[in-house]
Copies of this chain bind each other. A is one copy, B any other.
Amino acid sequence: MNQKGDIPRFQAKENSPARTNSGGEGDSRNRGMSPFSLRWVGDAAGQLEILDQTRLPGGLEWIVCRDVDTVVEAIKALRVRGAPAIGIAGAYGMVLAAGETAGHGLGPEAARAHVLARAEELATARPTAVNLRWAVERAVAVIADLPADTTAVALADALLVEARAIHAEDRRLCEAIGRHGAAILPAGDILTHCNTGALATGGAGTALAVITTAWDAGRRFTVFADETRPLLQGSRLTAWELVQRGIPVTVLVDAAAGHLLATGRIAAVIVGADRITACGDAANKIGTYGLAVLAEAHGVPFFVAAPSSTFDLAIDSGKEIPIEERAAEEVLAPLGVPAAPEGANAFNPAFDVTPARLIRGIITEKGVISPVSREAIREVLGG
């Protein structure tokens, strides 16, 4: 489905990387009902293609990544976003890191040093989601297992195998999360925040996979999607995915969620997560915490859906999660249109932390953690 031209572009970037537009007869990318966030094309000397989500829903444009810089830029600029998806992008970025050394006559040692330096750049492109570092570290572990004299080309081959494995695993995780979550999702309308669908992952999504799995099983409901300022992932991405699938979606401003919950028509709130601590505190898109407090005030169950790679068992409290603060312009100039006067400052944390006590259940690929406790987390993740 190509909506290019239907809707003005979300954001015109001046320093855009190489990109292609889809829409031609022969273009198979994102045609039909299953959008996807990124794909690797070719062998280890190939390229990573990232759907530029900053252009959605106005246009389908793909970033062609042949080097790490382009991947890092795409992650930082949220062209690819969603904790699982940026993890996968990071893994493929490691293949490109190895490719950068090929043909430069670098010996195995220098090639490896280059790739490991690039690993750090990739892992730190965004600070809050733990999946990014997790995926890059899986790639680094692959390198560590290879003999010291492994050539750059062989490094790239091995890293592509690992990245494809992470990507394929994520598809299966999404499926399992969808299945576990649909089984416990109460009947009725659902409220969600940000985007947690195919665009946020390498598969069908996390929280949105729960919703679409329930729908595919014949359940009927309306999805209420918070628009999710500042970057409007709810109206731009979640609504787009749901419209494509023919699932009724109603967008609201984030501040209307309290009133919506007060009407009594919401059966459950379900969101994703960027990092979950050992006690079950969950960092997710800004606004999630407020939503959880409101759900609690109305006795509406609040669920978090995330793969086990989202857990950071090295930290206990959500207070230890670093919260990314992003550019003031995201707040002061919505969709690039200045709205505030010169002289106004902005407070723009990209995430907040929802304490475990407000979460009815955490839906993982290994099952549902409910009630949420350190013990239940260890038990389900260990299982």
Q: Which A residues fall within an 8 A CB radius of B?
A: 3, 6-8, 10, 57-58, 224-230, 232, 235-236, 239-240, 242-244, 248-260, 262, 286-287, 289-290, 293-294, 297, 323, 331-332, 334-349, 352-353
Residues of B within 8 A of A8 (CB): 337-338
Beyond known contacts A227-B334, A256-B347: 10 more, CB 8 A cutoff: A8-B337, A224-B347, A227-B229, A227-B340, A243-B343, A249-B343, A250-B346, A252-B346, A256-B287, A290-B290
With CB as the reference atom, state the residue of chain B lying closest to A318: B262
With CB as the reference atom, state the residue of chain B lying closest to A246: B343
Please state if A338 and B7 are interface contacts (CB–CB under 8 Å): yes
Please state if A230 and B253 are interface contacts (CB–CB under 8 Å): yes
Whether A258 contacts B287 in the complex (CB less than 8 A), given A252-B346, A253-B348, A337-B335, comes out as yes
Is chain A's binding surface mostly helix, strand, loop or mixed? mixed
Please state if A57 and B340 are interface contacts (CB–CB under 8 Å): yes
Please state if B235 and A344 are interface contacts (CB–CB under 8 Å): yes
Query: CA separation between A290 and B259, bound complex, in Å?
Result: 8
Please state if B287 and A251 are interface contacts (CB–CB under 8 Å): no
A212 to chain B minimum Cβ distance, whole angstroms, is 16
Please state if B229 and A58 are interface contacts (CB–CB under 8 Å): no
Whether A337 contacts B339 in the complex (CB less than 8 A), given A229-B253, A252-B331, A347-B252, comes out as no
Residues of B within 8 A of A236 (CB): 339-340
Query: CA separation between A239 and B341, bound complex, in Å?
Result: 7
A375 to chain B minimum Cβ distance, whole angstroms, is 26
Residues of B within 8 A of A260 (CB): 347
Please state if A252 and B334 are interface contacts (CB–CB under 8 Å): no
Residues of B within 8 A of A242 (CB): 344
Query: CA separation between A69 and B243, bound complex, in Å?
Result: 39
